[in-house]
Amino acid sequence: MFLKHDGSQPDPVYSGEVMKLDLSTVEPSLSGPKRPHDRVDMSKLQSEFREGLSAKVSFKGFGLKADQVSKPVKINYQGKDYELNHGSVVIAAITSCTNTSNPDVMLAAGLLA
């Protein structure tokens, strides 16, 4: 619930409890690969990604055959040829998590990026 600071609501009462978090104990993670609410620890990312390519189609599996896993795709961007493989990193800037709740907005943001 959001608090309005216009006098229409009583001031909140806090417990006074202090919570501490040692950031060195937090392991970085990534969402996906298909659903943003799935979590993969960065230390397991490479192995889970490789396993997922050939795993049966599921929330983490893509069901690719062995010859498809290593098949590159050639693209031409601004007159220059590139070769992409599964796992190639392509960076696009899509900001705001609200974009993920609306597929139309998400697609538009991706095209814009």
The reported pLDDT for the residue numbered 1 is 61
Domain count, the chain: 1
Is 58 a domain residue?
Answer: yes
Q: Using an 8 Å Cβ cutoff, are 26 and 59 in contact?
A: no
Q: How far is CA 35 from the centre of its chain?
A: 8
54 falls within a domain: yes
**pLDDT tens digit at each of 113 positions of the chain:** 678 888 898 888 888 899 899 999 988 888 776 777 788 888 998 888 889 899 999 878 889 998 898 889 999 999 999 999 888 876 665 555 555 566 777 777 767 76
Check residue 99 and give its pLDDT: 52
Structural domain includes residue 44: yes
Q: Is position 40 within any domain?
A: yes
105, 106, 108, 113 alpha-carbon torsion, rounded to 10°? 140
Establish if 51 belongs to a structural domain.
yes
- Does residue 97 sit within a domain? no
Range of the domain at 47: 27-71
pTM above 0.75, yes or no: no
Q: Specify the pLDDT at position 95.
A: 57
47 is a domain residue: yes
Q: Is residue 35 part of a domain?
A: yes
